[in-house]
């Protein structure tokens, strides 16, 4: 299978802006990060597992609060705002562990669509949820029925379910290992859907992946993480896998100075 041709769909509109933003947990401090992400742009995050990419994405999603610096979405400051406020700004996050953080084992596809419905009702519109599940099964080529339980699906189909649960509009889409464990055909299909969102809706995408070829091919720019340090953005078209390897190995400051 051949990878699809590179397509850049970024616009002048700034979606996410950070200035000296940093986040931390009990073992790692990540940052500071200075970054502007434009509508339609795809930012790839590269680095060894545990170097800070996950903390960074969770900060962008509103699940963790910055310990310093500023962060805004669509020109609105997000410092101190709740996760619900991030959702209201159409920021969506897909975690790495599909069944632990993304889907609910034991529930059917219909029940998942009922849970994600934004209708303010006392009673669940189960018939509408079932119809929506069937529509998304056909649209996303999911090998399942509305009554199928998500834990019984393959990894590729679980990822398709997660993507199908994302309703438009999406301003900023944050992804952890969107194609991990998938065959190449499924990975190419998933990226075709993600790039279609960027192209048609102006959705900005930030994702992390362990495959450096995937990071370079689908990204407009790349940030490299090493033990909490974050490099300056690198243009993917002028960056090689070998350069990324050196950055991942800890040569962030040296490489950034020559970028």
Question: Does the pLDDT at position 5 exceed 70?
Answer: no
Percent of the chain with pLDDT over 90: 40
Q: Are strands 76-77 and 68-73 parallel, antiparallel or unpaired?
A: antiparallel
pLDDT of residue 2: 67
pLDDT of residue 7: 67
| Residue of higher predicted confidence among 181 and 228 | 228
pLDDT of residue 135: 93
Q: How far apart are CA 176 and CA 239, in angstroms?
A: 22
Report CA torsion sign: 69, 74, 75, 76.
negative
pLDDT of residue 255: 40
Q: How confident is the model at residue 205 (pLDDT cuts 50, 70, 90)?
A: very high
Q: How confident is the model at residue 253 (pLDDT cuts 50, 70, 90)?
A: low
Find tokens 């060894």 and name the residue: 48
Question: Does the pLDDT at position 256 exceed 70?
Answer: no
Instruction: Read off the pLDDT of residues 30-80 as tens digits, 9 standing for 90 and up.
Output: 989 999 999 999 999 998 888 889 999 999 999 999 999 999 998 889 998
Q: Is the peptide bond before 169 cis (omega within 30 degrees of 0)?
A: yes
Instruction: Read off the pLDDT of residues 145-196 as tens digits, 9 standing for 90 and up.
Output: 999 999 999 888 888 899 889 888 899 999 999 888 788 888 888 888 888 8
Phi, psi of 205 (to 5 degrees): -125, 130
């Amino acid at each position: 299978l051949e990878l699809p041709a590179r397509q850049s769909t970024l616009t002048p509109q700034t979606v996410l802006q950070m200035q000296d933003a940093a986040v931390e947990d009990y073992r790692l401090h990540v940052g500071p990060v200075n970054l502007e992400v434009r509508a339609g742009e795809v930012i790839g995050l590269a680095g060894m597992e545990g170097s800070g990419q996950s903390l960074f994405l969770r900060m962008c999603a509103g699940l963790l609060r910055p310990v310093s610096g500023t962060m805004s979405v669509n020109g609105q400051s997000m410092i101190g705002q709740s996760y619900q406020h991030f959702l209201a700004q159409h920021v969506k996050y897909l975690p790495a562990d599909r069944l632990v953080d993304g889907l609910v084992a034991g529930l059917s596809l219909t029940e998942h669509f009922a849970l994600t419905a934004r209708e303010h009702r006392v009673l669940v519109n189960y018939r509408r949820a079932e119809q929506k599940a069937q529509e998304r099964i056909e649209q996303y080529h999911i090998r399942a029925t509305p009554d199928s339980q998500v834990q019984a699906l393959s990894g590729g189909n679980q990822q398709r379910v997660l993507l199908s649960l994302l309703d438009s509009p999406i301003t900023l889409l944050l992804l952890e290992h969107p194609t991990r464990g998938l065959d190449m055909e499924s990975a190419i299909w998933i990226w075709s859907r993600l790039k279609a969102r960027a192209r048609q809706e102006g959705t900005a995408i930030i994702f992390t992946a362990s495959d450096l070829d995937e990071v370079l091919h689908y990204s407009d720019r790349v940030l490299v993480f090493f033990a909490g340090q974050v490099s300056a953005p690198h243009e993917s078209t002028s960056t090689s896998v070998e350069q990324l390897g050196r950055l991942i190995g800890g040569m962030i400051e040296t490489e950034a100075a020559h970028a």
